[in-house]
Structure 1
Amino acid sequence: MGELRLEELSASTIVAANTLSLKPGQEVFVAPVSFSIAEAYVNPNTAWPRVVLEDDEVVGFIMGNFDPEAPNEIFRSCIWRINVSADAQGHGVGRFAVLQLAEEARARGFDRVTVIWESGEEGPEQFFLRIGFTVIGETEYGEQIGELRL
Structure 2
Amino acid sequence: MPIRPAAPADLPLLQDIERAAGESFRALGMPEIAEDEPPALDLLEGFRLAGHAWVTETEADGRVVAYLIGEPVDGAFHVEQVSVHPDAAHRGVGRTLIAYAAERARDQGLTGLTLTTFTEVPWNAPYYERIGFRVLGEAELTPGLRKIRAAEADHGLDRWPRVCMYKATDPA
Q: TM-score, normalised by structure 2?
A: 0.68
Higher strand share: 1
CA contact (8 A) 2:5 2:53 kept: yes
Partner of 2:168: 149
Distance 1:135 1:8, change over 3 A: same
Question: Judging changes above 3 Å, is the alpha-carbon distance between structure 1 residues 85 and 45 closer, same or farther for their aligned structure 2 residues?
Answer: closer
User: Match of 1:132?
Assistant: 132
Unaligned 5+ runs, structure 1: none
1:104 aligns with 2:104: yes
Quick one: which of 68, 87, 99 aligns to 1:62?
Answer: 68
Is 2:14 aligned against 1:10? Answer: no
Matched pairs, number: 140
1:47/1:64 contact within 8 Å kept:
no
Structure of higher CA gyration radius: 2
- Give distance in 1, aligned partners of 2:56 and 2:35: 17
Structure 1 residue aligned with 2:94:
94
Q: Distance in 2 between matches of 1:80 and 1:111?
A: 17
* Structure-2 change in CA distance of 1:121 and 1:114 (3 Å): closer
Q: Which has the higher helix share?
A: 2
How well do the aligned residues superpose, as a CA RMSD in angstroms?
2.8
Conserved 8 A contact 2:11-2:44 = no
Aligned to 2:155: none
Partner letter of residue 97 of structure 1? L
Q: Percent identity?
A: 17
| In 1: Cα distance, 2:48 partner to 2:4 partner | 16
Between 40-49 and 110-119, the greater mean CA deviation after superposition:
40-49
The answer as to whether partners of 1:47 and 1:63 remain within 8 angstroms in 2 is: no
CA distance in structure 2 between the aligned counterparts of 1:79 and 1:11, rounded to whole angstroms: 20
Deviations 1:60-85 (A, max 9, x none): 0100202xxx5xx37x4210111101
